[in-house]
């Protein structure tokens, strides 16, 4: 197994324990306390949820990834395919098919995993009334053991045609379910807040919010030292603090940087601060085409504003000085450009400062 893993759910030895939030989530799952898990991308929400679930007793998992859904039938399809992963064997699949009978389900084989997968008829499932069938299925599953339903990337619901209606309809059905626990996880903080507060959703009132921020330094450093030693390297505390700073303490970026450092230090044992910049170079090389695509999609103004934040920092962005240095014409132009960049998840606003979410993108921008 590789010492460092990124871009996937981590478990076992590649998962740094986060006992406090994890045990809280496990006990919420067991007691049926609905929970909203919020945090930036690559912080470790999905890994945490999976790890917390693995410690529950007598619960079954219905894990639904909602990334890139566009229609209600996409939503139903995702739930149906998640349901087919809940159990194995012909009887189980037959049951799933019969629970969803009204949505004319079909059984096929997933080309990636080779596992059977249930999907629903896209025409029949395009209306909110099909939530009824989905919820009724969950209710049947929950007759025996508690079902933990995870809606991951829940903010994607906002991309449906009429999100208010979808949310209202979903929640009105969900609130009567017993023996079920819902975990709503989302990465675009503003969207999650909008759904759970602005829409005054009963989801929110009954759900506890769990923030997944950075892993605390002491635990992460201990974990990273162990992983580096698996790779035959020695990493001091100071060295790792610098690594954490460089990667903005975003769990996935930290692991990516450590992996790059490992690659760049073949044959070496004791790691030194210089090795970090070699690692950064490699990450920039790995990511450059992704960054190119990401920035190609920006307007001229957005790009200028982003470059200015990378080069001069994101404080006092409406000052004449910033506007001039950015090569933009006025404060409203800056405001619009930055607003869109926040919406797209490129920037975030924290303590009166716009910051570039991905530390490697910031570095890359200062070099072009
Ligand atoms: N507890 C953890 N310990 C170590 N690395 C982690 C942990 N959680 C997340 N990561 C790193 O972050 C990456 C993304 O994790 P993931 O759970 O998919 O985040 P999210 O769901 O918030 O986007 C993982 O591939 C891994 O590199
Ligand atoms: Mg995730």
Ordered structural domains, the chain, with CATH: 18-211 (3.40.50.300), 233-294 (no CATH), 299-367 (1.10.10.10)
Nearest CA to ligand 1 atom 23: 42
- Most informative mutation of 13, 42, 66, 258 for ligand 1 (most atoms within 8 A of CB): 42
pTM of the model: 0.92
| pLDDT tens, residue order, the chain (368 aa) | 899 999 999 999 999 999 999 999 999 999 999 999 999 889 999 999 999 999 999 999 999 999 999 999 999 999 999 999 998 788 889 999 999 999 999 999 989 888 999 999 998 888 889 999 999 999 999 998 999 999 999 999 988 998 888 988 888 888 888 999 999 999 877 778 777 776 666 566 678 999 999 999 999 999 999 999 999 999 999 999 999 999 999 999 999 999 999 999 999 999 999 999 999 999 999 999 999 999 999 999 999 999 999 999 999 999 999 999 999 999 999 999 999 999 888 998 888 999 998 999 999 999 98
Closest atom, ligand 1, to C-alpha of 16? 3
- Most informative mutation of 10, 25, 221 for ligand 1 (most atoms within 8 A of CB): 10
**Residues near 124 by beta carbon (within 8 Å), at least 6 away in sequence:** 73, 102, 103, 104, 130
C-alpha 352 chain-centroid distance = 25
Q: What is the CB < 6 Å shell around ligand 1? A: 5-10, 15-16, 18, 39, 41-47, 187, 215, 251-252, 255
Q: For residues 305 and 328, give the distance between their C-alpha atoms in angstroms, rounded to a whole number.
A: 8
The residue among 156, 190, 159 whose CA lies nearest residue 64 is: 156
Nearest CA to ligand 1 atom 25: 6
Ion ligand 2: residue ranges with CB closer than 5 A: 46
Q: Cα dihedral sign for 285, 290, 296, 298?
A: negative
């Amino acid at each position: 197994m590789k010492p460092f893993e990124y871009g996937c759910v981590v478990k076992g030895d590649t998962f740094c324990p986060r006992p406090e939030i994890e045990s809280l989530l496990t006990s919420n799952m067991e007691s049926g306390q609905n929970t909203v898990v919020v945090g930036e991308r690559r912080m470790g929400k999905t890994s945490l949820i999976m790890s917390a679930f693995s410690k529950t007793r007598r619960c079954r998992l219905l894990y639904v990834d909602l990334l890139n859904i566009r229609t209600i039938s996409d939503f139903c399809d995702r739930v149906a395919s998640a349901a087919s992963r809940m159990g194995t064997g012909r009887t189980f699949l037959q049951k799933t098919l019969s629970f969803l009978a009204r949505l004319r389900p079909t059984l096929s084989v997933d080309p990636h995993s080779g596992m059977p997968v249930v999907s629903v008829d896209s025409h029949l499932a395009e209306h909110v009334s099909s939530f009824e069938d989905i919820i009724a299925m969950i209710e049947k599953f929950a007759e025996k053991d508690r079902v933990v339903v995870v809606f991951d990337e829940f903010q994607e619901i906002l991309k449906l045609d009429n999100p208010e209606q979808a949310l209202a309809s979903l929640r009105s059905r969900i609130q009567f379910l017993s023996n079920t626990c819902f975990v709503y996880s989302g990465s675009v903080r503003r969207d999650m807040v909008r759904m759970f507060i602005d829409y005054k959703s009963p989801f929110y009132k009954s759900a506890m919010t769990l923030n997944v921020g950075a892993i605390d330094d002491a635990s992460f450093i201990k974990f990273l030292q162990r992983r580096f030693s698996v790779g035959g390297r020695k990493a001091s505390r100071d060295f790792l603090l610098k690594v954490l700073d460089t990667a903005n303490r975003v769990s996935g970026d930290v692991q990516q940087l450590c992996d790059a450092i490992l690659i760049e230090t073949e044959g070496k044992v004791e790691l030194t601060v210089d090795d970090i910049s070699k690692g950064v170079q490699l990450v920039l090389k790995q990511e450059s085409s992704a960054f190119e695509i990401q920035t190609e999609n920006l307007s001229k103004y957005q790009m200028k504003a982003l470059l200015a934040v990378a080069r001069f920092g994101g404080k006092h962005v409406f000052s004449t000085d910033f506007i001039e240095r950015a090569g933009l014409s006025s404060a409203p132009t800056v405001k619009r450009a930055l607003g869109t960049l926040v919406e797209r998840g490129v920037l975030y606003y924290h303590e009166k400062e716009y910051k570039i979410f991905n530390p490697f993108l910031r570095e890359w921008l200062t070099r072009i």
